[in-house]
Amino acid sequence: MRAVLLGPPGAGKGTQAQVIAAQLGVPAISTGDIFRANVSGQTELGRQAKVYMDAGDLVPDEITVAMVKDRLAEPDAKVGFLLDGFPRTITQAEQLRSSLAELGSGLDCVLELVVDEEELVRRLSGRRMLVDGEWVQRDDDKPETVRHRLHVYQEQTAPLSGFYEQEGLLARIDAIGTVEEVSARAQAALRQAEKRDSAGQGDAPPAG
């Protein structure tokens, strides 16, 4: 299964990616996590990405796409993958499509986690992560940056919903509820995608 998890900051992509990927037996690949690991490891990639991340802007496509290409070439991604936080622009989606086509494959399903904006702001401002045994707020979860990230999402990433709908790959998932409720909805959508794939891709009408 080659799938993408789409959704605004605060929709619960990271949590759902872990649960769903474990159920599918594929690696969860989060571009945000890879960038953060590079920032804390003080690599050249981390140094480049940090400026954009702190501002709540997207890291430029050429940096991000090259990084994801390398990650997808690793052996564990042969069985499939669940991408979390990538693609985030139409350019990234097109590049992903052509990289996969080069390998003779393509995406099976795109899950869009849907949450209203009020709930997103509430979740993000209360979010903390555990670093060295301490609960800290992510630099980019500060209220001003959160508003900017949501704006960037609307402008640059939300159009992917229509892009993947046209490709017949999109499944919209109501992401309000417990982790288990949301992952059960995602599972159901993935099973449908699997059925559609085995029935012969390309003949199926757009999902959604």
Q: How far is the CB of 109 from ligand ADP (least distance, A)?
A: 18
Nearer to ligand ADP, 68 or 196 (CB): 68
In the 8-state DSSP scheme, what is residue 178? -
Nearer to ligand ADP, 136 or 188 (CB): 136
Query: Catalytic residue positions?
Result: 13, 88, 127, 138, 149
Q: How far is the CB of 86 from ligand ADP (least distance, A)?
A: 4
Nearer to ligand ADP, 154 or 206 (CB): 154
Q: How far apart are CA 114 and CA 104, in angstroms?
A: 31
Q: Are 75 and 85 in contact (CB under 8 A)?
A: no
Sign of the dihedral through C-alpha 33, 37, 42, 44: negative
Q: Are 6 and 113 in contact (CB under 8 A)?
A: yes
Q: How far is the CB of 190 from ligand ADP (least distance, A)?
A: 20
Q: Cα-atom radius of gyration of the chain, to the nearest Å?
A: 17
Interacting residues toward ligand ADP by CB under 6 A = 9, 13, 31-32, 35, 52-53, 56-59, 64, 85-86, 88, 92, 140, 149
φ/ψ of 43, rounded to 5, equals -85, 170
